A and B are shown apart, each in its own frame.
Chain A
Amino acid sequence: MFNPELKKGSIEMLVLSLVEARPRHGYDIGKLIEARSGGRLTFALPTLYPTLLRLESRGWLKGRWVEKPGERDRCFYRLTAQGRRILADRREEWRTYVAAVNDVLGQT
């Protein structure tokens, strides 16, 4: 639906923003992206899962296995302090970028 390059550039920011409010597990994150975008944005597991690992490796996310009563064990990812700073930067950057792109596109 969208240009894959465009998707690739935004996936990290999307993942970080989805765990901002509370920790989520991998499947949950994938479903939320699909739901919130009205089905326009989907990321398959082979794309999403390595992204989670990469963000964890950089220290922006922290994964933790959690047992909840009546549920299976799942690895929940939460945002670290460093991840929070990065997300704020990325959001600001994205807004500025989109505004700039819109300005340019609007004038044509």
Chain B
Amino acid sequence: MRDWQAFVRARLHVPDLTPAREARIIREVASQLEDFYRDAIARGATEPEADAHAGGQITDWARLARDVRRADWPHVQPRVDRVVTALEAGPAAKRGGGLVAAYLVRDVRYTIRQLLRAPGFTTVALVTLALGIGATTAVFSVVDGVLLRPLPYPEPDALVRVHEVLPQLGLFSVAPANFFDWRSQNTVFDRLAAYTSDSETLVGEDGPERIQGMQVSWDLFPTLRAAPAIGTVFTQEDDRPGGNRVVILSHGLWLRRFGGNPEVVGASVTLSGAPTTIVGVMPADFYFPVRSTEFWRPLALDPANATRGGHFLGVVARMKPRVTVQQAEVNMRTLAERLARQYPADSAGESARVVALQEQVVGAIRPALLMLFAAVGVVVLIVCANVANLLLVRASVREKEMAIRAALGASQRRLVVQVLSESLVLALVGGGLGVLLGYLAIGPIKTLSAGSVPRVADVGLDGRVLAFAAVASMLTGLLFGLAPAWQATRTGVSAVLKQGGRSSSTSGSRWVRSGLLVAEVALSIVLLTGATLLLRSFAKVTTVDPGFSSDRVLAFQVSLPDVAYTKDPQRLAFFDALLTGLESQAGIESAGLVQTLPMRGDYRLSFGFPSRPPYQPGQEPSAYYRSISPHYFEALSIPVVRGRAFTPQDSASSQPVSIVDAAFARTYFPGENPVGQQLRIDSGSGKVTTIVGVVGDVRYTGLDVTAGPTMYAPYGQDVFSTTWVVVRSKGAPAAESGTAREVLHHLDASLPAYSMSPLATIVSDSVGQRRFSMLLLSVFALVALFLAAVGLYGVVAYSVSLRTREIGLRMAIGARPGDVLGMVVGGGMKLALAGVVLGSSAAVLLSRLVQTMLFDVSPSDPASYALTAATLLVVAAVACYVPAHRAMRVDPMVALQTE
């Protein structure tokens, strides 16, 4: 008789059944075929006849296999199990790797089922992780977009900014004559280009518009290696005095004002009254130096006639191959210092500094971003500690399960893989949610940081950020999975089983949990302290007296084109008419002019005193300089403390006068009355003025910068063609914007009033970067506080659940609810207090790192530390009280009966 099982096995292949099940089916079918055979023999058939009879019972094996598979559906394996089966059976299993992979796949399924069965635990763990990963993702996307991503020019690492270094003033713009000498004499740069900001009035069908752009030397585009999308860049011919009036448009301006029409190249537009030919349009992704730059015009300086005393150029250069920034700096310093010796009258003591362009753009924001990134790292550590604690609590509840599995033969390695798989599943799902959260957070972060963080428009959620989030999630999972995995290796089988199923909490694991909690509280304290210090700094900055009042003040700029307003008297007449017109409006109290508004730029001039010995060239002191109209002080409520304000009589034909501020008086006239003294302001004319008044100090460059000595001159004696107008209104300043525009339009319909904004907004924007760091760090600190509270609650609640019997016993022998409350809260608060002490000590050491971001607050400010510690302890007390309150209501009888 043939081997029927072998016969069937060779023919019947039921896909997707477990090997055991398939074996049973083969055995049964073979058994029946054997019955057919034996019956045939019994009826007198010969062996070959019987064999043919039995073998002929099944003709279509494939169909039988299909019918069996369909009928035996409970035993058909899902695909994932088949993978496991294959891995377990495959050659990889013998090397160990396949087996681990097989366990992992199976464990992941098991884990997902387990997690779904504990929705409370899973929700808390996932929310915690999502917060951590979400914050990390959002901040990393900013760090990546702003700090890490290269600038959008070919070979950006070779691009540098070159500055002059002026004695007393430090880094400074470059004088044109120096630029020309640098360009011809340096040995380290392929190209060196200069630029200065420019704004022009573009008159079109929809009225005049002020557009911001740059005047650039012709070689700027070759330096950046930027090519236009349409047309050409400038030629050397364009960039000379009296050269062609040409302009290159940004992609944005081209779309906005010219409808993206490629025919505009070669066409003429009117820029500030003069016809100008459009020669090119740059591509959409090009910008220089900032995104808001909408056009570029030739600088058209005359090398033969260039000034060495006026510093107003930015210089960008491309280094030759294999030249480092340090080498470039050495070369440029030598060159600049040689020029300084050559031209002592203008350049005495000057030097140069070379800074990588990327560093130049983002250097200022780097400390703040790195601090935020570090803060996010701390949040992630807290998240890890928190989730590890949750897992430990869970692990001790499941100790019995683990012990049974160990008793049934699961190896330690097997159990560790299972615990780790749980951590990884949590980390990945939490990470996915976190990325979603981070994606949602990027929008608000970009809004918040617009204007105060450079390049923030480049920030987005892309492949790099996603890869970072994935790696961060995995590392987080491994980190918080370590403690529970370690715990799993220590589970003693007999110890657990002997306890009759009561979950135990070994002293070792309790120590780990307490340690994690203390660490968590300590880390939260570090963040909270940092946030408090920044918050207090911010509060101090925003409440500092700037020396002027921005309430009800509207500010805007007006620029008179040189083509239409060629002479000073014309400009003066225009501004006089504008101010008179504004002040005659019912809603306007007073109106003034100033060439540089508070918080908007720096304008300094050197000066001397005719009655004192002259300063050495290069040693002259300098002070802020403001050319103002008579009602400027009134409009900004700047007090006149001595002498008088300017009057309309202080004109070009009258005696030159000036006003200084109290800081100037303190510095240069200590113990003297400056009024009546002579002051020479080096504004070009070198006029000697008589000081007629002293006014209060004004913080011109920023709320966080102490007011420096300031000189004022009447605009009648030094008029600027581009100036700020400040209008103090009787009501809300924005309400007067229409009035102001009408007055201007009435005087000259071709002039736009631009950069219009309430002064209060301008002041508030000036602390935007501070607000950005402060708000973000505060959000992280609050997240940390929340997580610490959740962690504390979890640990205390768990310890209460373990001690239910003990608490019941205590109450049975007479403990009052208050005693129980004190015992439970006390236990939690001991941990919180340890964390607070540890965290505060760490914060003292770390607070030095934020010192540069503080204002008028010491890094060891006791109030901040006390406030932080108090906040955390209050939150901790609440987190402990909730479970303690539950413990207090334990019914002794019930508690004692539970076991």
A residues touching B (Cβ–Cβ < 8 Å)? 25-27, 30-31, 44-46, 49-54, 56-57, 72-75
Pairs across A and B, CB under 8 Å, 9 listed = A26-B31, A45-B57, A45-B58, A46-B63, A49-B64, A53-B25, A72-B31, A72-B34, A75-B31
From B28, B35, B73, A49 is in contact (CB under 8 Å) with B28
**Chain A contacts of B68 at CB under 8 A?**
49-50, 53
From A26, A31, A53, A74, B72 is in contact (CB under 8 Å) with A53
Sorted from nearest, which 6 A-B pairs have the closest CB atoms?
Answer: A54-B71, A27-B35, A50-B67, A53-B71, A50-B71, A53-B72
Q: A83 to chain B: closest CB distance in Å?
A: 15
Return the chain B residue nearest A47 by Cβ. B67
Mask, B36-71, CB within 8 Å of A = 1, is: 100100000000000000000111100110011011
**Chain A contacts of B39 at CB under 8 A?**
31
B31, A50: Cβ atoms closer than 8 Å? no
Q: A86 to chain B: closest CB distance in Å?
A: 16
A46, B67: Cβ atoms closer than 8 Å? yes
Interface residues of A, dominant DSSP: helix
B60, A46: Cβ atoms closer than 8 Å? yes
Q: B28 to chain A: closest CB distance in Å?
A: 5
A45, B32: Cβ atoms closer than 8 Å? yes
Return the chain A residue nearest B72 by Cβ. A53
Distance between Cα atoms of A73 and B686 in the complex (Å): 121
Distance between Cα atoms of A49 and B12 in the complex (Å): 13
B31, A46: Cβ atoms closer than 8 Å? no
Distance between Cα atoms of A104 and B328 in the complex (Å): 110
A49, B31: Cβ atoms closer than 8 Å? no
A57, B71: Cβ atoms closer than 8 Å? yes
Q: B458 to chain A: closest CB distance in Å?
A: 60
**Chain B contacts of A31 at CB under 8 A?**
39
B residues touching A (Cβ–Cβ < 8 Å)? 24-25, 27-29, 31-36, 39, 57-60, 63-64, 67-68, 70-74
Return the chain B residue nearest A49 by Cβ. B29
**Chain B contacts of A74 at CB under 8 A?**
31
Return the chain B residue nearest A75 by Cβ. B28
**Chain A contacts of B35 at CB under 8 A?**
27
Q: B751 to chain A: closest CB distance in Å?
A: 89
A26, B32: Cβ atoms closer than 8 Å? yes
Q: A71 to chain B: closest CB distance in Å?
A: 11
Residue with the highest number of chain A CB atoms closer than 10 Å, among B28, B29, B72, B74? B28
Distance between Cα atoms of A31 and B43 in the complex (Å): 14
**Chain A contacts of B74 at CB under 8 A?**
57
Return the chain A residue nearest B32 by Cβ. A27
A57, B58: Cβ atoms closer than 8 Å? no
**Chain A contacts of B58 at CB under 8 A?**
45-46
A50, B70: Cβ atoms closer than 8 Å? yes
A27, B73: Cβ atoms closer than 8 Å? no
From A25, A50, A52, A54, B64 is in contact (CB under 8 Å) with A50
Q: B24 to chain A: closest CB distance in Å?
A: 8
Distance between Cα atoms of A53 and B71 in the complex (Å): 6
B32, A49: Cβ atoms closer than 8 Å? yes
Q: B75 to chain A: closest CB distance in Å?
A: 8
Return the chain B residue nearest A55 by Cβ. B71
Distance between Cα atoms of A50 and B58 in the complex (Å): 13
Q: A23 to chain B: closest CB distance in Å?
A: 14
B57, A27: Cβ atoms closer than 8 Å? no
**Chain B contacts of A73 at CB under 8 A?**
27, 31
Q: B176 to chain A: closest CB distance in Å?
A: 92
**Chain B contacts of A51 at CB under 8 A?**
71
B32, A57: Cβ atoms closer than 8 Å? no
**Chain B contacts of A30 at CB under 8 A?**
32
Q: A6 to chain B: closest CB distance in Å?
A: 19
Given known contacts A50-B64, A53-B72, A57-B73, A26 and B57 CB-to-CB distance under 8 angstroms: no
Distance between Cα atoms of A57 and B74 in the complex (Å): 6
**Chain B contacts of A25 at CB under 8 A?**
31
**Chain A contacts of B60 at CB under 8 A?**
46
**Chain A contacts of B36 at CB under 8 A?**
27, 45
Return the chain A residue nearest B74 by Cβ. A57
Distance between Cα atoms of A16 and B58 in the complex (Å): 23
Q: B155 to chain A: closest CB distance in Å?
A: 69
Given known contacts A27-B35, A72-B31, A72-B34, A46 and B71 CB-to-CB distance under 8 angstroms: no
Distance between Cα atoms of A74 and B33 in the complex (Å): 12
**Chain A contacts of B64 at CB under 8 A?**
46, 49-50
Q: B18 to chain A: closest CB distance in Å?
A: 14
Residue with the highest number of chain B CB atoms closer than 10 Å, among A50, A57, A73? A50
Q: B35 to chain A: closest CB distance in Å?
A: 4
Q: A27 to chain B: closest CB distance in Å?
A: 4
With A27-B31, A73-B27 given, can you name 11 additional A-B contacts, CB distance below 8 Å?
Answer: A25-B31, A27-B36, A45-B29, A46-B67, A49-B28, A49-B29, A50-B67, A52-B71, A54-B70, A72-B34, A74-B31
Q: A74 to chain B: closest CB distance in Å?
A: 6
Distance between Cα atoms of A46 and B28 in the complex (Å): 12
Distance between Cα atoms of A15 and B31 in the complex (Å): 19
A26, B71: Cβ atoms closer than 8 Å? no
Return the chain B residue nearest A54 by Cβ. B71
Q: B527 to chain A: closest CB distance in Å?
A: 59
Return the chain A residue nearest B67 by Cβ. A50
Q: A29 to chain B: closest CB distance in Å?
A: 10
Distance between Cα atoms of A54 and B74 in the complex (Å): 10
Return the chain A residue nearest B25 by Cβ. A53
